[in-house]
Amino acid sequence: MRRLIEIATERRVTVVMLMVAVGLFGMVSLSRLNLNLLPDVSYPTLTIRTELTGAAPIEVENLVTKPIEEAVGVIRNVRLVRSVSRSGQSDVTLEFLWGTDMDVAGVEVREKLDLLFLPLEASRPLLLRFDPSSEPIIRLGLLYRESANATDSAEARLKSLRRLAEDRIKTDLEAEEGTAAVKVSGGLEDEIQIQVDQQKLSQLGIGIEEVAARIRAENVNLSGGRLEEGSQRFLVRTLNEFESVSAFSDAIVAYVAGRPVYLRDIATVERGHKEREAITRVRGRESVELRYTRKEMRTRYRSRIASRRAWTGFANLFPRIWNSSRSMTSRASFLPRSTTSGTQPSSAAFSPSSCCTASFVTHARRPSSA
C-alpha cells in the first residue's frame, strides 16, 4: 500500500491520465448501452381455450372444463389450476413454478389433451401463452370532441375516424424505425351491402348462389399476360374491380329471355359497415383504437421516442385535428428513470382542436396464441 501511494505521488500526471481514460471509456460504454424499460420475462402460465358453441356455462363446466382440469392437473411443476366457464367457451389456466421450461410444459399439456375425449361439438383445445414482448407499448384512442359543432351523425364520425386511422396514421407509423405492427380496432369499417329481394329472384328463376358467383367473378382484376413489340414489352391487365356503389348496381348477374338482368333490378345496393366485433370506448364514448407494437424488447425506449416524433409530425399533417403549436403533452415521462410498472402501456395526451381529440386507452390483455 505504501509503495502504491508513493507511485501515485511521484507520477501524478500518469495517474490523472489513467483516470481520465477510465472515465472516457465509461462514458462511451454508457452511451452505447441498450436501454430496456421492461425486462424480457417469460411468465410460466398456459391457458387452454375450448369452444362449445351454444352450450350454457354449467354444461361447459361439466363437459369440458372439469375433464381438462383432471387431465392436466397431474403435469409436473403445476402450481395452480384456475378455470373460467362462460357461455360457449372454457378457459383453463395453468400456473407453473418459476424456472419451468415452458416449451417442454407445452408439449406435455398437448399430449394430455390429445388423450382426452371431449364432446364432438367442441372445438380442438387451443393452447395460449402470454408473451409480454408481443404486447403494444402504446394504445391510442381517437374520438370527436363533445364541443365539436358537426352535423355528421355518430355513424359517419366513426367511419371517418376509422378511415383516418387506417389510411394515414397507421401507414405513417409503420414507416417509423422500430415499428413491428400497428393494429386498428373499433369504429365502423366501410362495406358494400347487397340486400337481395327473394321474391324478384323467384320470379326470374335466378338462385342466390348464381348471383353471388357472378359478383365474385366480375369484381376482380386479372393478369392478361404480356405483349411484345420490337424491343418493348407491355404487361396486360384487366381492371374490373368495382370502385363505387353504382358500379355494383350496374353489374349484370344473369340473362333472362335474352335480356340482361342488372343487380339493381333484384337487389338494393348501399354503402354500410361491417358487423362489429369490438367496441372501444374512451370516457364512455365510442372511439377508434390504434395499438403500436415495437420490433424488439431492447428497442423499446427508442421506439417510444420514434412514435413520439411521428405523433408530432401528425400535428402538421392534420391541423384540423390537432393543434400544431401544441401537438403533444406527455403524462408519462419518456426519460429512462420513469419506467412503466408491469406491462402497462405508456400514456400521453394530445392537444386537440375543435374537431377531434385523442387519448390513450387501456384494455385487459388476453394470452397470445402459442
DSSP letter, residue 55: -
> CA end-to-end span of the chain, whole Å?
60
**pLDDT tens for the chain, residues 1 to 370:** 778 788 878 888 888 899 999 999 999 988 887 766 556 667 889 999 999 988 899 999 999 999 999 999 889 899 999 999 988 899 999 999 988 888 899 999 999 999 888 988 899 999 988 766 677 777 888 887 766 555 678 888 888 888 888 888 888 878 877 777 888 888 888 888 888 888 888 888 888 888 888 888 888 877 778 888 888 888 888 777 888 888 888 888 888 888 888 988 888 888 888 888 778 888 888 888 888 887 754 444 555 555 565 555 555 544 444 433 233 333 333 323 333 333 333 333 333 333 454 444 333 334 334 3
Note the pLDDT of residue 235.
84
Q: At what angle do helices 12-31 and 2-10 cross, to 10 degrees?
A: 90
pLDDT of residue 305: 55
User: Where along the chain do its domains lie?
Assistant: 45-130, 134-189+277-369, 191-273
Q: What is the pLDDT of residue 238?
A: 79
Comparing 45-130 with 134-189+277-369, is the CATH topology the same? yes
Contact 253, 211 (CB under 8 A): yes
Would you state the cell numbers that stand for residue 227, as one nine-digit string?
405483349
DSSP state of 50: E
Which pLDDT score is estimated for 282?
83
| Residue 22, pLDDT score | 93
CA angle in degrees (0–180, nearest 5) for 334-298-330: 15
Q: Which CATH class is domain 191-273?
A: alpha beta
| SS3 of 149-207 | CCCCCHHHHHHHHHHHHHHHHHHHHHCCCCEEEEEEEECCCEEEEEEECHHHHHHHCCC
Q: Give the model's pLDDT for residue 311.
A: 57
Q: Does domain 45-130 have CATH number 3.30.70.1430?
A: yes
* Count of residues making up the chain: 370
Give Cβ neighbours of residue 348 (< 8 Å, ≥ 6 apart): 138, 308, 311, 328, 329, 330, 331, 332, 360
Domain 134-189+277-369 CATH assignment equals 3.30.70.1320: yes
- As a whole number of angstroms, the distance between CA 142 and CA 321 comes to 10
CA dihedral 9, 15, 16, 22 (to 10 degrees): -150
Dihedral angle of Cα 281, 286, 287, 289, to the nearest 10 degrees:
40
Give the separation between CA 237 and CA 360, rounded to whole angstroms: 44
pLDDT in the model for residue 329: 30
Task: Give residue 29's pLDDT.
Answer: 87
Query: What is the pLDDT at residue 150?
Result: 59
Dist. CA 16–CA 12, nearest whole Å: 6
Q: Give dist(CA 341, CA 143) in Å, integer.
A: 27
Which of 90, 8, 61, 38 shows the shortest CA–CA distance to 346? 38
